[in-house]
Structures are given as structure tokens and as C-alpha cells.
Amino acid sequence: MGRGKIHISRIENRTTRQVTFAKRRAGLLKKTHELSVLCDVQIGLVIFSSTGKMFQYCSDSTSMEEIIRRYQYASGTHIPQHSDVEVLNAEMIKIRKETHELELSLQRYTGEDLSCVRFEDLEDLENRLEESVNRVRARKFEILQQEVQNLRLSTKQKEDQNDELCHLIKEHQAAVFAHQHHYQQQMEMLPKSEEHRNLMEQFPFCGEEQPLLQLATTSMQPQFATYHTSTSYLQPNQPHLHDFSLNTPIYGITQS
């Protein structure tokens, strides 16, 4: 029974395709080596995978450069060899041309050197400038909206802080008022002697005259008390008490 024909097409599954490539690549290199040894031929094989990785095989009796040179001679093709100086000069010319075009484009955008510009180019430049202006205005409006939103948020935060400070001030004032009210109630509940003592402590005596005056007044009180107790024994022809001064002797009683 013979082998059936295999339909040759690209394998869609990436993993399966990679496995198949690895297997068939190894088989191809093996068959190439066998052909080179058995038949005494010079073979050069170059393989590039789908990912860009290169695989090559060359017969032991030659090199890949020699095979390529022989291929060029046999096919009549020639790959031009460029020196580094020529490559650098060509690259420099290309860069200078691109730089000149960019400078002209910038001058056109700024409105300079428009004498040699065609009408179609001017229309295209006008349309581009209008689109640029519209984008700039849109960005400007977006930034303004963001700034307004930030200002509103900052104002709201300031108002909240102000309300919090007002609330704290009111609480402090209420606490002070309650403390004063409590202190007044305590003062009203104190006895009079205690209140008098507190008053004396708040207004201490100053100097030496006030204590002497108080002492003199205290020493005079018993005399007046003795006089009042003895008024009932006074004779009818004696003068009234209010007619005498403090220095007038009363029945042998003088002011000490």
C-alpha cells in the first residue's frame, strides 16, 4: 500500500509550524551533508526562518564566500561593493536634502518666503494652519476648564475650613460663658464672711496709715459703747451727747 499524497499548504498553528520547521530543517541539513559527502559536491545552503533567524550549511571543502563568488561568476551577476566613504557621502547628501525641506516647511508655517509657493500648496498650508489653530484652541479651553475646576475646589476647601474655624470659636465662647456662669454661682453660694475675706484678699492694704486708722477706730468703739451704757445715769442738766466732740471729757472719761 503506497503513501497517500499530502496537501502542501501553510500551517496555521504557530506552535505546530515551529515544530515542523525544526524537524524538517534538521532533516534537510542531514540530507545536504549526505549528498555532499557521497557525491563529492560543494553545497551552500542558507535558511531564514519566519522570525528572521539564519541557518546555513557549507561543504567542508569550501566556504560560503567562495560558493557565492562562483555563483556570481556562473550566473553573470555582480553585487556592487561600496566603500564606507561613499556610503557616508550618500547618507550625508540625503540628510542635507531632508533638512532643507524641513527648513522650507518651517518658513512656510511662519509665513516667510511664500513667493515661490504654488496656489495648491498655499491652500494646503492654510488648511493645516487652521487645523493647528483649532487644536491649540481646544487645548487652551481644556486647560482653562481645568484651572476653573481647581479654583472651585480650592474655594470649597477654604469655605469648609472657615466653617470649621467658626464652629470652634463658637464652642470656645460657649465654654468660656459656662465657666463664668459656674464661677458666679459658686461666688453667690459662699458665706458673707468668706466673701468679705476674698474681697480683702483682692484689695490688700497699701502703706501704713490705713492699718493705724483701723486700729484707732477699733480702740474708740469700746468708749462709745461704755458711754451709751451709762447714759441712763446722767443728770438732767447735762448737755446732750451730740454737743460734745471726741476731745471733750465726759465725767472724768478722757480720750486715751
Mean confidence (pLDDT) of the chain: 76
Nearest to 176 by CA among 184, 187, 186: 184
Q: Does an H or E element contain 195, and which? A: helix 192-202
Half-sphere exposure of 143 (CA within 13 A, CB side): 6
Distance of CA 5 to the CA centre of its chain: 71
pLDDT confidence bin for 222, thresholds 50/70/90: very low
Percent of the chain's residues with pLDDT above 90: 29
Question: Which residues lie below 8 Å from residue 57, measured CB to CB, with a gap of 6+?
Answer: 29, 32, 33, 43, 44, 45
Q: What is the pTM of this model?
A: 0.32
Q: Which residues contact 227 (CB under 8 A, 6 or more apart)?
A: 241, 250, 253
Contacts of 110 (CB under 8 A, 6+ apart): none
Average the pLDDT over each of 38-42, 208-212, 236-240 and give the range with the smallest value: 208-212
pLDDT tens per residue, range 10-50: 888 888 888 899 999 999 999 999 999 999 899 999 999 88
User: What gap in Å lies between CA 230 and CA 168, rounded to an integer?
Assistant: 71
Q: Note the pLDDT tens digit of each residue in 150-208.
A: 999 999 999 999 999 999 999 999 999 988 888 888 877 766 555 556 655 655 544 44
